[in-house]
Amino acid sequence: MTSTPSEPVLRIEDLQIALPEGADRAFAVDDVSYELNAGEILCIVGESGSGKSMSANAMMGLLPDQVRPTAGHIFFDGQDLLTLSEAELRDLRGRRIAMIFQEPMSALNPLMRIEDQISEVFEAHNLLTPKERRARTLELLNEVQIPDPEKAMQAYPFQLSGGQRQRVMIAMALALEPDVLIADEPTTALDVTTQAQILELIHDLRDRHGMAVMFITHDFGVVAEIADRVAVMQFGKIVEKGTAEEVLDNPQHDYTRKLIAAIPKLHAEKQEMVTSPTPILEVIGLCKTYRSGGGLFGGPERVVKAVKMINLKLAEGETLGIVGESGSGKSSVGRCLVRLMEPDAGSVFLAGEDMAHLKGEKLRSARKSIQMIFQDPFASLNPRTKIGRIIAEGPIAHGVPAQVAFAKAAELLELVGLDKSALDRYPHEFSGGQRQRVGIARALALEPRVIIADEAVSALDVSIQAQVLDLLADLKARLNLALVFITHDLRVAAQICDRIAVMQKGEVVEIGTAHDIFNAPQSAYTQSLIEAIPGREKELAAAS
């Protein structure tokens, strides 16, 4: 390479990318300039729709059909990438600039062994002999620290865990020793402990290979862990850029300040326990086992014990967090509580009545007192039903006259901070945060005493997430609701929960007040979870 150390590897100048007509703004990316130096990690941070992935996609020639760069340059190694032909770009992709994606399962070919997928990278660029490819593949898998690389080479993607798959993706990206690695939300789909490992791996590899890393993320915790420099994007423009310390510790732009303020603080207040004499919800010995396969010709049956003998108590007006990584059984517990899933054993006493063994009409009326808020605001509202109807449907089903139910729906909309005019509109006219408010209004329509929130804020941007959490806390206090808050995000749990139950592999490994869990975790697993929270060290350092 001829570039001197001061010369950046990649320089983007005044980049402008136009969106097709009818989009919510004219340019996906407008007047964006930044540079990337060798051996540096640049984090591009923004909320959904900020255009943070667009400049990277333009670089790789991965823009959707109707979206075209209209001005600016992307200089890489003296060439403007925007003027290169498809063939020239193809030669650069993978060899000089590599990319890893958010969801490793969909980025890997499900029908190809790992070995073949990695050696395909060499094959595509006509490099090495088949034997050398094999040797290099093994070397790469070793480098990304996959346990038992020999075996992993022979595995199919579905046989690996999420973290292992992301390691394979990274190995593929590293295969040809690129100068630039683009990582588009590479840890968003991963559990917090796996995320910490992958971040460490990317950090390590950067040190060893001296490549430039462009890390696209929405998570300021991740930024604090990994970034050297940061660029914050909003509505397609860079509103602030600087070193990680400058931006995180002394943000200049209002938007950056707002974003950082919206991150739930890892700090749980010590508070008086609300002790109500009789718990509103009591779970005793809840078990749920999944069986698949088996049958007449299905071979051996696969049995997964998702929930093993869970006991929980929830007092009136209390918020209980159920925290765990994917596969810990936390969502199964929530679904068993409301009987969207049949528990195999155990009892769920709701105000003294055993929900787990009710049937038919009795179950229907008991469910009025226990409602749920769902994760995905886009999937949880019927796209063909108006908002008013969505909220009023429950009461109408329980015999409330339609007129009364709709009047109530209007009140509920105001309660959750939406305008009454929303009644006659369809869900697609609303943003994710607004839809989640509708979901909350729907849950409240039946005047429940317990609400189960299953990852209710996980799909939302951090600023929206903060608003919804505030709304939930406010409603809870006003209506004296008991809340079961299921989440993978310990920061969120710290903010809203009175008590927290930590689940691992179907069991509750620790239960206690939020304050105790965060300040004096008893089990090793809880400790490892808390240590893995991105940005925690920085926060601790700032606090002391």
Report in angstroms how near the CB of residue 439 gets to other proteins at its nearest: 8
Asked if residue 425 binds other proteins (CB under 8 A), the reply is no
Binder of other proteins out of 117, 164, 234, 371 (CB under 8 A): 371
Could you tell me how many residues of this chain bind other proteins (CB under 8 A)? 29
Per CB under 8 A, which region of 2-10, 101-109, 151-159, 387-395 contacts other proteins?
Answer: 387-395
Q: Is 478 in the site for other proteins (CB under 8 A)?
A: no
> Which residue in the set 340, 477, 524, 540 belongs to the binding site for other proteins (CB under 8 A)?
340
For residue 239, the minimal CB distance to other proteins (Å) is 32
3-class SS of residue 271 = coil
Q: Which residue has the tokens 């890489």?
A: 76
Quick one: how many helices (H) and strands (E) in the chain? 21, 20
Residue type, 104: P
Angle (CA) 317-419-380 rounded to 5° is: 65
Q: Which amino acid is at 68?
A: R
Among residues 216 and 451, whose Cβ is nearest to other proteins?
Answer: 451
Asked if 380 touches other proteins (CB under 8 A), the answer is: yes
Rounded to whole angstroms, how far apart are CA atoms 516 and 326?
23
Q: What does each C-alpha distance from 288 to 113, 325, 332, 392, 506 come to in angstroms?
A: 33, 17, 8, 33, 9
Q: Which of residues 84-103 bind other proteins (CB under 8 A)?
A: none
Residues in 431-470 at the binding interface with other proteins, rule: CB under 8 A: 439, 442, 445-446
Stretch of residues binding other proteins (CB under 8 A), selected from 154-162, 376-384, 477-485, 524-532:
376-384
Minimum CB–partner distance for residue 376 and other proteins (Å) = 6
Establish if 386 lies at the interface with other proteins (CB under 8 A). Answer: no
Please state the closest distance from residue 341 (CB atom) to other proteins, in A.
10
- For residue 38 the two structure tokens come to 């060798």
Q: Is 494 in the site for other proteins (CB under 8 A)?
A: no
Residue 398 touching other proteins (CB under 8 A): yes
Which residue, 130 or 383, has its beta carbon nearer to other proteins?
Answer: 383
Would you say 36 or 366 has its CB closer to other proteins?
366
Tokens of 467: 């608003």
| By CB under 8 A, residue 381 contacts other proteins | yes
**Which residue's CB is nearer to other proteins, number 130 or number 399?**
399
DSSP states of 165-202 as a string?
A: HHHHHHHHHHTT--SEEEEESTTTTS-HHHHHHHHHHH
Smaller CB distance to other proteins: residue 218 or 442?
Answer: 442
Rank residues 135 and 397 by Cβ distance to other proteins and give the closer one. Answer: 397
| Residues 6 or more apart in contact with residue 361 via CB below 8 angstroms | none
Q: How far is the CB of 23 from other proteins (least distance, A)?
A: 15
Give the binding range for other proteins (CB under 8 A) out of 26-34, 188-196, 207-215, 393-401: 393-401
**Distance (Å, whole) CA 500 – CA 533:** 16
What torsion, rounded to 10 degrees, do the Cα atoms 254, 259, 265, 269 define? 60
d(CA 342, CA 21): 49
* 383 near other proteins (CB under 8 A): yes
Tokens 């710290």 correspond to what residue? Answer: 494
The nearest distance, CB 332 to other proteins, in angstroms, is: 14
Q: Is 376 in the site for other proteins (CB under 8 A)?
A: yes
Least distance CB 165 / other proteins (angstroms): 24
In the complex, the smallest distance separating the C-beta of residue 383 from other proteins, rounded to whole angstroms, is: 7
State both tokens at 134.
């094999």
For residue 473, the one-letter residue type is A
**Residue 384 C-beta: closest distance to other proteins, Å:** 4
| Closest to 372 in 3D by CA, of 494, 484, 497 | 484
**DSSP string for 219-235:** -HHHHHHH-SEEEEEET
What is the nearest approach in angstroms of other proteins to the Cβ of residue 157? 23
Establish if 382 lies at the interface with other proteins (CB under 8 A): yes
Helices (H), 387-521: 387-397, 402-415, 432-444, 462-479, 490-496, 514-519
- Window 44 to 83, contacts with other proteins (CB under 8 A): 65
| Among 50-58, 79-87, 212-220, 373-381, the segment contacting other proteins (CB under 8 A) | 373-381
Which region among 42-50, 163-171, 281-289, 389-397 touches other proteins (by CB under 8 A)?
A: 389-397
Residue of 53, 104, 59 whose CA lies nearest to 217: 53
- Tell me the CA distances in angstroms from 76 to 7, 69, 210, 493, one per residue in order: 11, 16, 16, 44
Q: Does 375 bind other proteins (CB under 8 A)?
A: yes
Q: Which of residues 244-303 bind other proteins (CB under 8 A)?
A: none
106 near other proteins (CB under 8 A) = no
Task: Sort strands 10-18 and 27-36 into parallel, antiparallel or unpaired.
Answer: antiparallel
Q: What are phi and psi of 379, to 5 degrees?
A: -95, -15
Pick between residue 354 and residue 516 the one whose CB is nearest to other proteins. Answer: 354
Q: Does 372 bind other proteins (CB under 8 A)?
A: yes
**SS3 call for 375:** coil
- Supply the minimum distance, in Å, between the C-beta of residue 428 and other proteins: 12
Q: Which is nearer to other proteins, 250 or 385 (CB)?
A: 385
Radius of gyration of the chain (CA): 26
In 3-state terms, what secondary structure has residue 316? coil
Least distance (Å) from other proteins to the CB of residue 164?
28
Output the six-digit token pair for 33. Answer: 């300039």
Binding site for other proteins (CB under 8 A): 65, 338, 340, 364-365, 367-368, 370-372, 374-376, 379-385, 390, 393-394, 397-398, 439, 442, 445-446
